[in-house]
Amino acid sequence: MPSGHPPHLGFDMHSPMLEAAGTVLSSTADEQAPAPLENPWLQQNNSPGIEISLDGNITHWNEAFITNFAKSKAGTLKDMPVTDLFCWPEKQWAEIRREILANREISFCTYRDALNEKKGPIEWRMVPRYSRKTEVIGLICIGRDVSESARLLLELEKASKLQRKMLPEKVNDYRFNLSYYYYPNFQLSGDSFGYHYDPKRQKLILYIIDIMGHGIYTSMQMASLHSLFEVSVQNDRVSAEGILKRMNQYYLNHFDLEDFAASMIVEVDFNEMKCHVISAGIPYILHDDRRTVRKRDFPGTPLGMFDQTMFRRKSFKISKRDQLILGTDGFFDALEYYEFPDSRNRDNWLRYLHRVSLSGRSKDDVTSIYLEIK
């Protein structure tokens, strides 16, 4: 945390550390205080630790605090105000003191060692220190180096940005308008989609991928399938049914038996003005033909479930100004709680998709796609 910024505080009345502070560290308020390195519990702790009096001064510390955090002579710590150590304003310390006196645990992070200007993220937890009469007489602060965790979070951020770069650009073409909303449940998503437009054949091919599960492993499955789909849909010699059959075999060959993915390929033929849908576990498309909104059903078996799976296409007619809404199961699950917009023009549909997608991301990865036929 940069110097001068208040820490994030979290309170926990039932912490194991809180209990330890009340038992192992208990002493009478008037007994002779141990010398700076003599606090038994701090000394046994391998993590950086300090004891702070209620007036805000450091009274005891352990070797790990000197070695891993302060890296300064012990003499500089005696009676140092904790506000100097953590670069807090007095108002911040007053708030923390109130919480400690209310028997609460506090968590916060620092990013800079105030004593040596060394950068490095450390997570701290503060708990009350009790007398034998269970009166709060100070507080114990234990730190944990979270440099590795911070590095992993940065790597996750990079991977998340890479996932977004894999998504196609939004399109406003003379034939169609394509927009979308993409919200991972966590930093990495198991959803993806893409499209290929063939101007010679006047055909738009969309594909959606929804890997079951969340997290890093799921995102790796998604990345491999996305690349295969991206190449396959540009090969006009392979049908959509053939593409899904290949993807199913790839899934069976490379992933665990309990892994599977839902998918869908949508072909929009502008010559015949037809929409062809081949589903592998994504069951719905919303079709707004300007008169009503139909929830069209497309049953299909997810990828990776069975060896000999047949994928079949279903078709329906489309007209100019029709609007199609596609999405992963995170979107359609959230959709059950909302009514369609009253005025269903492009802007209203996009606002609607945005809100539904945001509401669904707390439970699942969500991708929603808006396609307008011009």
Mean pLDDT over the full length of the chain: 86
Long-range contacts of 78-87 (CB under 8 A, 24+ apart): 78/36, 81/56, 81/57, 82/52, 82/56, 82/57, 82/58, 82/141, 83/56, 84/114, 85/50, 85/58, 85/114, 85/115, 86/7, 86/110, 86/114, 87/3, 87/4, 87/112, 87/114
| pLDDT digits 0-9 by tens, 257-312 | 999 999 999 999 999 999 999 999 999 999 999 999 999 999 999 999 999 899 99
| Strand-strand pairing, 118-130 and 136-145 | antiparallel
- The CATH architecture annotation of domain 166-373 reads 4-Layer Sandwich (3.60)
Domain with CATH 3.30.450.20 in the chain: 11-145
And the tokens for 189?
């998503």
Domain with CATH 3.60.40.10 in the chain: 166-373
| pLDDT digits 0-9 by tens, 151-178 | 888 899 999 999 999 999 999 989 999 9
Greater confidence, 324 or 71?
324
**In the structure, what pLDDT confidence band is assigned to residue 5 with cuts at 50, 70 and 90?**
very low
pTM: 0.69
Q: Which distant-in-sequence residues (6+ apart) come within 8 Å of 161 by Cβ?
A: none
Q: Look up the CATH number of domain 11-145.
A: 3.30.450.20
